[in-house]
Structure 1
Amino acid sequence: MAPKRTSTSAAPAMTQAAIKKLVTDTVSAALEAQAATMANTNNTNRNTQQEETPIARKCAVGLIRWFERTESVFSHSNYTEDCKVKFTTGTLTEEALSWWNSFSQPIGIDEA
C-alpha cells in the first residue's frame, strides 16, 4: 500500500454555511448566465427558449438535492475526509461522472 501523502500546508476547512453560500451563489450565477444567453440569442423559436429555463432550474434543484442527500449521509456517519470524497465521487452520474473521470484519470484518484 502506498504511503499516505502529507501536506505542509493545511487547507482551510469550509463550514456548512460557507458551502451552502457557495452552492447558492454558483447556482444563481449559472441561472443568470443561462437567462442572459437565452436573452441574447436570436432564436426565432420562442417555445424552445421558454423550455430551456425550466430545465436549468430543474438541474439546479437536482444539484441542491444531491448536496442535501450527501450532507445527510455525512451527518449520520463518522466518515474520514478521504472516505467522504470517495463516497461523494461514487454518487456522481451522467455528465458529472464524465467530468470527474476526465479530471481524475490523468492525475490519479489520490491526487484528485
Structure 2
Amino acid sequence: MAPKRTPKSAAPAMSQATIRKLVADSVVAALEAQAATMTNADNTNRNTGQGEASVARKCSYKEFMSCQPFNLKVKFATGTLTEEALSWWISFAQPIGIEEAYKIT
C-alpha cells in the first residue's frame, strides 16, 4: 500500500521584496547592536583608565619574577609549535604533566 500524500501547505510564498526587507532589517538590527556594544566597551575603558593614555608602571625584579615570565615564554613557544615539533612537545609533556612541562626554562 502506497503512503498517503499530505496536501501542500496553503501558505503564500514570500516575495523577493519581502525577503530582501527581512534581511535588510536583520542587518540593521545587528549593526545597531554591535554599535551599542562597542560604545559600552569604549565607556568602560575610559572609566577604568585603560586605553590610549595608560602608563606602564615600574616594578622590581622580585615582582617581575613573581609573574613567572619563564612559564609564559614556554607557554607561548609551545603554542606556536607545528608538525614534528608539536609531536615532540606532546610526547615530552604527557609523562610529566603539562604544568610541570611549562616550568622548564
TM over 0.5: same fold?
Answer: no
Structure number having the greater helix percentage: 1
Whichever of the two has the greater Rg, that structure is 2
TM-score normalised to structure 1 length: 0.31
Structure 2 length-normalised TM: 0.33
Higher relative contact order (CA 8 A, sep 6+): 2
